[in-house]
Structure 1
Amino acid sequence: MNDHLVKKRLGYAMVLGSLAALGPLCTDLYLPALPDLASELATTTATSQLSLTAGLLGLGAGQLIFGPLSDRLGRMRPLLFSLALLLAASIWCAVAPTIDQLIVARLLQGLAGAGGAVLSRAIARDLYNGHDLTKFFALLMLVNGLAPIVAPVVGGGLLSFLSWRGIFGALAIIAVLLFILSAGKLHETLPAQRRSHGGVAAMAKSLAALLHHRQFMGLCLTQGFILAGMFAYIGASPFVLQQIYHLSPQMFSLCFALNGVGLVFAAQISTRLSLMWGELALVKIGLAIAAVASLLLVIAAAMHAPLIALLIPLFFSVITIGIIGPNAGSLAMQSQGKNAGSASALLGVCMFALGAASVPLTGLGGTSALSMAVTICGCFFIAIVIFVLLARPAFARQS
């Protein structure tokens, strides 16, 4: 491979990897600023968390919008539109005078962020196949794993010299840079003759078939509720660790990063172990660890335990997400053939919709360590029940 082609591939990797990180950036960059945001806008913790919920809803809905749209119109026009929308929404977030306006702006910001995430995968599929595609997807997965770790740390650093409005201003600058890079480095990868003409009806029919697939839906909902527990942690932890345990935004970011590193390592280790034991065994092991860790988290929170006694079961609750999520998602996708695109969209929508529902639950009656722990534990145990009732019987019939 000549130097020009290597540099071209590296340029694509940098741009597409940055686009893949838009979802986590939109969700996690402003997390350390949530308490300040609630104070300045004179709103409650639960109401301020609705800004996170709105962003998650946008990220979920956007996958159903930009994916099919790009199959019909090509990749570049929807991509550039999503980045322009991200710029406008970020500016609106930065200047929003009320929490109501911020929530609407966050919904649009989530929609825009979903465009970058979905289209980065679509463009990669257009460009590569075989082992090259596998390696490129591995890069995108690494970015998606590291971005949630880095974003709160960067957000905490920005808060040392910017307000929460400045963080949304930084996201606006990121949108401009990605628009310039995408327009300059990328090109249309879906020729007109390969574009879809099925329309909304064809996609709706495909999604309806998936909803009646017992094994797929069991795994989809298992993964969705496990990740809903993660979003409950994401939404509540800034208030619990900063307001109740009095950590600085920078120390909170470091704690968040430590849990994120554990999640990434757990995902990498479980991927290797799945080659020996199989994905189904790893899902079962992960669910068992999730049950024990989340119960210990509830006990620690109920006893108003010292910070370290709370952080240890919280750490293990978070890393189980790295075990269950990838393996349940992989099994779900393996059960599908020609419906892989719709299956991927439904997995994403389920994850973000359930995550959006779990976040405000932690703020009912005032966010506390106990409300966070109970919500995480509840999500995990619903996932276990769904797996036992839906997914496991389907696998038993196959054996």
Structure 2
Amino acid sequence: MPLKILLILGGLSAFGPLAIDLYLPAFPAMAEAFATDSEHIQLSLSAYFLGLALGQLFYGPIADRFGRRKPLLFGIGLFCAASLACALAPTLEWLIVARFAQALGGCAGIVVNRAVVRDLCEPIEAAKAFSQLMLVMGVAPILAPLAGGWLLALGNWTWIFLFLTLFSAVFSFAVFFGLKETLPPTVTPPALSSALGRYRRLLGEPLFMFHALTGGIAMAGMFAYIAGSPFLIIELYGISAAHFGWFFAINASGFILFAQINSWFLRRHPPMKLLRFTTLFFAVCNVLLLTVAIYQPMSLWPFLLPLFGSVAVIALVLPNSSAEAMAGQGHQAGVASALMGTMQFVIAGITSALVGILHDGTAVPMTAVMATCGIGSLVMARLAQRATVKKAQAALAN
């Protein structure tokens, strides 16, 4: 894949982590500003996940019908306007609605990202490209909480959303001048009226569904951690908002490292084989994390090693499951990308909301949700392997 396109796709990948992670250190300050608590501020995070889930269903058919560029430019423009609305929010309700609109814009990049990779790459090359994009998804969570803490120290929480406004405005020019249309001209654009039928057929494809859910449930575990980490690190263990980003960075650095290791693994092993072991490791790390939380240690340090493993290994699970799910979907890459992303963020929205709903003043709710995600991802990966074997056997029989 050309470096210029990879860099642009990397920028698109940064929209999500920035919009999610940048304002995490501001949760206590925002709760004070809106005269509420951090659990209610978490609703703005859940609203963002909901917008990401629903918006992708809209962009998928549009990207298959009209190409990749136009929906992307529209989405970035909406993200920019909604970010400004977040900064100007006079009430929590206003903020939640603006975050929902912000997500509707931001999800265009998620759909187009995967569709462009599928347009240009075969499955193994696609997995490598997704691994390289994981580097951005790893760097952004490191820098975002740190930058959020600095912006909070320099001004107030509104500065965070003003930064997102500026970032998206600048990046729209990069997309406009640097990203050409990648939808192959030989592909006959499907009618928008066929979208529901294509979604329905994809829901009935076991291989697509199991691979999409393998990565989706794993990603939901990460977002359970994202939703619960401000309470765990800042409130439960008394780490300052300014230093919160450093603890967050430890886990994100593992994400970066494992993303690069995945590219090396893919030279020797197919994505399916890697998923067999990485999902098992993911499940074990999350169960260990829950075990630590049950014993309620007096310091944060016992959490760090299993947290590191549970977050880092997602960089091995997500790109490989995404590549396997998108394989064979070239004629409908936009719809396949949209459905996969929607499932991912619906599950992420549910898990992040559960962390707040089950809040009991300990780390157990967050880690219990993460452990459930670890086991669920492992089960989906095993079902995908069985579906692959059955498909191969059926092909031989015919």
TM-score interval for Structure 1 and Structure 2 normalised by the shorter chain: 0.7 to 0.9
1:192 and 1:351, CA in 2 relative to 1: closer, same or farther beyond 3 A? closer
1:309 aligns with 2:302: yes
Q: CA deviation at 1:321?
A: 1.3
Q: How many angstroms apart in 2 are the aligned matches of 1:263 and 1:12? A: 22
Kept in 2, the 8 Å contact 1:286–1:323? The answer is yes
Equivalent residue number for residue 93 of structure 1: 86
Q: How many angstroms apart in 2 are the aligned matches of 1:308 and 1:25? A: 26
Kept in 1, the 8 Å contact 2:187–2:331? The answer is no
Kept in 2, the 8 Å contact 1:27–1:56? The answer is no
Q: How many angstroms apart in 1 are the aligned matches of 2:354 and 2:180? A: 43
Equivalent residue number for residue 226 of structure 1: 218
Runs (5+) with no aligned partner, structure 2: 394-398
Equivalent residue number for residue 369 of structure 2: 375
Q: CA deviation at 1:171?
A: 0.9
Q: CA deviation at 1:191?
A: 9.4
Query: For 1:16-50, what per-residue CA distance to the aligned partner results, in whole angstroms no more than 9, with x for missing partners?
Result: 54233212211221111122212321223332112
1:318 and 1:19, CA in 2 relative to 1: closer, same or farther beyond 3 A? closer
Q: How many angstroms apart in 1 are the aligned matches of 2:380 and 2:57? A: 24
Alignment counterpart, residue 57 of structure 1, candidates 50, 53, 69: 50
1:10 and 1:97, CA in 2 relative to 1: closer, same or farther beyond 3 A? same
Q: How many angstroms apart in 1 are the aligned matches of 2:283 and 2:347? A: 19
Kept in 2, the 8 Å contact 1:294–1:376? The answer is yes
1:392 aligns with 2:385: yes
Give RMSD over aligned pairs: 3.0
Equivalent residue number for residue 272 of structure 2: 280
- Range with bigger deviation, 188-197 or 93-102: 188-197
Query: For 1:71-108, what per-residue CA distance to the aligned partner results, in whole angstroms no more than 9, with x for missing partners?
Result: 44455543333232122211111121222211111011
The residue matched to 2:268 in structure 1 has which SS? helix
Q: CA deviation at 1:68?
A: 2.9
The residue matched to 2:356 in structure 1 has which SS? coil
1:188 and 1:393, CA in 2 relative to 1: closer, same or farther beyond 3 A? closer
Q: CA deviation at 1:10?
A: 6.9
Q: How many angstroms apart in 1 are the aligned matches of 2:173 and 2:332? A: 34
Kept in 2, the 8 Å contact 1:58–1:110? The answer is yes
Q: How many angstroms apart in 1 are the aligned matches of 2:185 and 2:280? A: 49
- Range with bigger deviation, 14-23 or 231-240: 14-23
Runs (5+) with no aligned partner, structure 1: 1-8
1:221 and 1:121, CA in 2 relative to 1: closer, same or farther beyond 3 A? closer
**What percent of counterpart residues are identical?**
38
Kept in 1, the 8 Å contact 2:17–2:144? The answer is yes
Q: How many angstroms apart in 2 are the aligned matches of 1:14 and 1:273? A: 22
Alignment counterpart, residue 170 of structure 1, candidates 140, 163, 172: 163
Equivalent residue number for residue 151 of structure 2: 158
- Range with bigger deviation, 332-341 or 208-217: 332-341
Query: For 1:224-252, what per-residue CA distance to the aligned partner results, in whole angstroms no more than 9, with x for missing partners?
Result: 11111011001110111001111122321
Give the number of aligned pairs: 387
Q: CA deviation at 1:66?
A: 2.9
The residue matched to 1:159 in structure 2 has which SS? helix
Q: How many angstroms apart in 2 are the aligned matches of 1:46 and 1:307? A: 21
Kept in 2, the 8 Å contact 1:30–1:164? The answer is yes
Kept in 2, the 8 Å contact 1:20–1:118? The answer is no
Equivalent residue number for residue 396 of structure 2: none
1:329 aligns with 2:287: no
Q: CA deviation at 1:370?
A: 1.1
Equivalent residue number for residue 253 of structure 1: 245
Q: How many angstroms apart in 1 are the aligned matches of 2:92 and 2:351? A: 19
TM-score, with length taken from structure 2: 0.86
- The one-letter amino acid paired with 1:377 is A
Q: How many angstroms apart in 2 are the aligned matches of 1:392 and 1:294? A: 22
Q: How many angstroms apart in 2 are the aligned matches of 1:29 and 1:356? A: 18
Q: How many angstroms apart in 1 are the aligned matches of 2:203 and 2:288? A: 34
Equivalent residue number for residue 149 of structure 1: 142
